[in-house]
């Protein structure tokens, strides 16, 4: 079992490990964003990407500032995150709305061109179903960042909830690597690729639960985080086929329309 000093060092060095997300993001978004950067895109795409980059930068830098005892800078950047993360969430909601109507439009074009025979009800159902992953990652980030801010004066749970929030980078990056580089939506012919990222998130939290063995505050925060992820993953696998889900997504994306 790691000592308290070893555990502290592991968390203080998380910024170096989070650099992996930079590599994953570049690979995952290269074909869908970086390689076509000069082509026309909705403004919200660039805004969302910019705020995500800033948020990722904060996640990398903050533990390193603690490691190198730059606590005043750490606190200042922590306050900046109060602005950055809400902007990430706002642009995420805007991106989800944009994606919903873009996906719905593609299905309607397929019907017009005779490539598919979807009814209007089926199009609405499929469009809502498709937004499930974005919705849950949005919800997870909002919950974990909220918990981190609530515990901002208690370093141990605060850092564990920031770790849980940072793991929301996993899905959007890893999923795109499978889609654009491996060219598949299924693993072993039957498992949706998003479950691979779910598994990585769960394994990471279980690993840190072991690292925090003997640290009740850390284990409690990590246990809560793992439970929230697992509940969300179960709901993701079960509720998207329901009429209630379709009604909820339809109402959300039509706010302000």
Structural domains in the chain (count): 1
What pLDDT, on a 0 to 100 scale, did the predictor assign at position 173? 94
Domain range holding 133?
A: 4-253
Task: Report the relative pairing of strands 186-187 and 191-192 from DSSP bridges.
Answer: antiparallel
- Give yes or no for residue 1 having a pLDDT over 60: no
| For range 181-197, the mean pLDDT | 92
Burial of 167 (0-12, 13-18, 19+ CB in 10 A): buried
Instruction: Report the percent of the chain where pLDDT is more than 90.
Output: 85
What pLDDT, on a 0 to 100 scale, did the predictor assign at position 10? 82
The Cα 208–Cα 210 span in angstroms is 5
| For range 97-107, the mean pLDDT | 95
Work out the mean pLDDT of the chain and round it to a whole number. 93
Phi-psi region of 114 (alpha: psi -120 to 50; beta: other; left: phi over 0): left
What pLDDT, on a 0 to 100 scale, did the predictor assign at position 127? 96
What pLDDT, on a 0 to 100 scale, did the predictor assign at position 214? 83
The Cα 174–Cα 157 span in angstroms is 27
Task: Please give the angle made by the CA atoms of 252, 139 and 244, to the nearest 5 degrees.
Answer: 45
Helices of type H across 113-190 = 120-130, 132-150, 155-166, 170-177
pLDDT digits (tens, 9 = 90+) for 3-44: 666 677 788 888 899 999 999 999 999 999 999 988 888 999
DSSP letter at 154 equals S
pLDDT digits (tens, 9 = 90+) for 200-220: 999 999 999 999 988 899 999
pLDDT digits (tens, 9 = 90+) for 132-186: 999 999 999 999 999 999 999 999 999 999 999 999 999 999 999 999 999 999 9
What pLDDT, on a 0 to 100 scale, did the predictor assign at position 247? 95
Q: Could you tell me the pLDDT band of residue 199, with boundaries at 50, 70 and 90?
A: very high
- Among candidates 77, 70, 78, 29, which has minimal Cα distance to 50? 29
The Cα 193–Cα 15 span in angstroms is 27
Burial of 4 (0-12, 13-18, 19+ CB in 10 A): exposed
What pLDDT, on a 0 to 100 scale, did the predictor assign at position 8? 77
- Give yes or no for residue 252 having a pLDDT over 70: yes
What pLDDT, on a 0 to 100 scale, did the predictor assign at position 255? 85
């Amino acid at each position: 079992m790691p000592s308290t000093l070893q555990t502290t060092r592991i968390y203080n060095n998380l910024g170096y490990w989070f650099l992996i997300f930079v590599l994953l993001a570049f690979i995952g978004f290269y074909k869908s964003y970086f390689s076509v950067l000069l082509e026309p895109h909705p403004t919200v795409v660039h805004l969302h990407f910019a705020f995500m980059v800033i948020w990722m930068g904060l996640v990398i830098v903050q533990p390193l500032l603690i490691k190198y005892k730059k606590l005043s800078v750490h606190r200042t950047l922590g306050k900046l995150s109060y602005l950055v993360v809400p902007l990430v969430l706002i642009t995420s909601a805007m991106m989800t709305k944009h994606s919903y109507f873009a996906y719905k439009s593609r299905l309607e074009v397929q019907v017009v061109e005779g490539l598919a025979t979807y009814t209007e009800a089926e199009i609405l159902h499929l469009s809502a179903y498709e937004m499930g992953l974005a919705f849950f990652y949005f919800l997870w980030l909002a919950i974990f960042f909220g918990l981190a801010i609530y515990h901002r004066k208690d370093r141990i749970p605060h850092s564990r909830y920031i770790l849980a929030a940072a793991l929301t980078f996993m899905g959007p990056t890893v999923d795109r690597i499978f889609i654009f580089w491996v060219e598949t939506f299924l693993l072993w012919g039957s498992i949706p690729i998003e479950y691979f990222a779910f598994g990585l998130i769960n394994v990471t939290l279980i690993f840190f639960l072991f690292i925090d063995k003997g640290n009740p505050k850390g284990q409690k925060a990590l246990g809560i985080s793992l439970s929230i992820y697992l509940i969300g993953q179960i709901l993701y696998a079960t509720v998207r086929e329901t009429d209630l889900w379709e009604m909820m997504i339809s109402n959300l994306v039509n706010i302000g329309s």
